[in-house]
Amino acid sequence: MFSSINKDVITQFIAQIWNGNRLDLLDEFLDPAYYDYTYESRNREGLEHALLTMQTAFAGHETTIEEIASEGDTVAICLTLRGVHSGPFRGVPASGKQFEIGGYRFFKLLNGKIISHRGLIDLPALLQQIRTND
C-alpha cells in the first residue's frame, strides 16, 4: 500500500516540481528534515538552487520517468531528461542545442513526504551534447 502511495508522491513531485518548476509547492513534498545527498547545500536550499539552475540553463526541460520501483520507504526512478540549452551551464554559454540524457534518482519517504534524495545524471553526455564545435 505505501509502495503505491510513495510512487504517486514521486510521480507528482517530478511533474509539479521538476517539470512544472513549481518551487512554491515544495512544502507539499518535502519533509522539514529533508536531506539531499546530491546537491550542495545538502538540504532544501540545495535542491532549490539546482531547480533554478536547470530552469535558467534549460528552460522548458522535461523529465520523463521511464521506470519506477518502490520497496518499503524507497522509490527509485530511471529517467530521461530532455531540453534545449538556453542559458549558461558549467561555463558553457547557451548553445541552443537540444539534448537527451539518462539518469537515476532514489527517494526515501516518511508519511508521504520526501526525507532524502540521491541522484545521478549523465553529466558527461549532457556537456558533450551542448558544447559548440566552433
DSSP string, 19-67: IT--GGGHHHHEEEEEEESSSSSSSHHHHHHHHHHHHHHSTT-EEEEEE
Query: Can you give the pTM of this predicted structure?
Result: 0.94
Per-residue pLDDT of the chain (134 residues; tens, 9 = 90+): 568 999 999 999 999 999 999 999 999 999 999 999 999 999 999 999 999 999 999 999 999 999 999 999 999 999 999 999 999 999 999 999 999 999 999 999 999 999 999 999 999 999 999 997 75
The domains of the chain are located at: 2-130
| CATH number belonging to domain 2-130 | 3.10.450.50
